[in-house]
Structure 1
Amino acid sequence: MSAAAEAGLRRILAVVDLLIDAVDEETLVPALLPLLLAAVPGDSIIWAPRAGTADRPLTLPADLLSQDVRDAFAREAATDSLVRHTTVGPGTPMRRSTLQTRSEFHALAAYTDVYRPFGAEQQLAMSIPAGGADGTPRRVCLAISRRCGDFSDDDVLAAALLRTRLSHALDRLAPAAPAPAAVTRRESAVLALLARGLTNQQIAHRLAISPRTVDKHLEHAYAKLRVGGRVAAANAWLTRGTSDVRARR
């Protein structure tokens, strides 16, 4: 192994070591950005917590993006093929030069308003699959920029290796989705009769309550069971059984 390759491997391992010890994303990212910028060398790095949203990105240098640049990016990102690759495409590590020529890049309004102001003449970007705070999948966008000198095949390979490890770490650090709420005894009684095929009117008569109250119990039960209809609610209640029913009415 050449000295350069060995040094590159050490920089990647430094990132991996940090990911192993991380306890939450909020404290991880500020320490992570300089290590990523060493592993895939560039002049600046942008970390967008949710690719394609208005969430404010974290950057190194910290004052990289002015408000005018962020506003211009929001207006013009849809015309940028590299942004589309990271937000709605496969999101694998990609050099801008692979997608467009230098003249094509310079012809973009986004080049004039967004990239030229912070010296992003060459870029390597990717999105990282990760878990979100609400338990739903998300993409974190990572873009490294240079003023001169394109990214090499080795840089793309290093980014690909890091992408897998970053994804695993972010999944591990994502807050667990809240457990579904348990149905009450009265909601359970309504669901039991629903599962037997009774109509709302019949359920109301059987339980000596109004049809409107049945509707309300079902509305609450749908939300707790995370379903959208009568059949799905009955099936979910039968699957979960009565162990989730609370002691209160």
Structure 2
Amino acid sequence: MPVDGRRVLGGGPNHLVWSGHPAGRPLTVPDGLLGRDALEAFARDKAADPLVARMTAGPGTPLLRSDVQSRAEYHALAAYADVYRPLGIEHQLAMAFPAGCTADGPRGVCLAVNRARGDFGDADRATADLLRPRLVRAMRRLAPPGRERVTRREAAVLDLLARGLTDRQIARRLAISPRTVEKHLEHAYPKLRARGRVDAATTWPSLAGGGPEGRSRPLPDPPEPA
């Protein structure tokens, strides 16, 4: 499925399209993959494409082109004439998933497998269902949130959170109040692009960087107010 930030792998009747989006800002399209006219046509026509809409706004679970429209409806799309037909795309299996972070924020990826002949079936969908969570984990390791944004005190709290300690237990270990633990976590969540304590606890140990032990060094804590 051609979308902003696309990379087309392979050629001929079967190929794979991989497209990445940091939050709010599409990636730059690499030169030479698609012509300017095709890119402009896709940007112009994608709002009317139900599969693109489901991948953009839906849960991202594997979906076939034939799940959302008939062959005649697909061929009636403006994008079919301008983009899909020239690429020989008659059948598609697409999925979307979170894929770590860039400097601009969280990134999502849409992956589409395209065929010229023969629709995808239940076995293909099942394979995509198995592959999707593995891709999420792999992309998170390749492009993790920035550990370097976290202060030393937030890092200490996250270290204990990742070991399964409660806020009260963390507070006793660090000689601070449970409310202070909550505040450190509240400040750390957006830095990790985490949705909550469970997400932070699983994300934190996977982060790596350029520190002496393979980790980025946390920032110093801000001074306490006078």
Equivalent residue for 1:130? 99
Q: Does 1:159 align with 2:123?
A: no
Equivalent residue for 2:221? 244
For the residues of structure 1 that align with 2:67 and 2:87, how far apart are their CA atoms?
A: 21
Question: Would the aligned equivalents of 1:134 and 1:175 in 2 still touch at CA under 8 Å?
Answer: no
Percent same amino acid at aligned positions?
A: 47
The structure that has the greater radius of gyration is 1
Equivalent residue for 2:119? 150
Q: Deviations over 1:68-101 (max 9, x none)?
A: 1111111111111100111111111110001100
TM-score normalised according to structure 2 size? 0.57
What is the correspondence of 1:1-249 to structure 2 with a 5 Å cutoff?
43-50=14-21, 54-56=26-28, 65-134=34-103, 136-177=105-146, 178-179=148-149, 244-245=221-222
For the residues of structure 2 that align with 1:135 and 1:157, how far apart are their CA atoms?
A: 33
RMSD, aligned α-carbons: 3.2
For the residues of structure 1 that align with 2:39 and 2:75, how far apart are their CA atoms?
A: 18
Aligned structure 1 segments of 4 or more residues deviating by more than 6 angstroms:
none
For the residues of structure 1 that align with 2:36 and 2:25, how far apart are their CA atoms?
A: 15
Unaligned segments of structure 1, at least 5 residues: 1-29, 183-224, 227-242
- Is the partner of 1:92 in helix, strand or coil? coil
Distance 1:104 1:66, change over 3 A: same
Aligned pair count reads 150
- Is the partner of 2:58 in helix, strand or coil? coil
Supply the AA of the counterpart residue of 1:139: G
Question: Which piece of structure 1 moves more, 49-58 or 148-157?
Answer: 49-58
Unaligned segments of structure 2, at least 5 residues: 1-6, 153-186, 189-219
- Is the partner of 1:74 in helix, strand or coil? helix
Return the structure number with greater strand share: 2
TM-score normalised according to structure 1 size? 0.52
Question: Would the aligned equivalents of 1:47 and 1:57 in 2 still touch at CA under 8 Å?
Answer: no
For the residues of structure 2 that align with 1:89 and 1:126, how far apart are their CA atoms?
A: 10
Q: CA deviation at 1:66?
A: 2.1
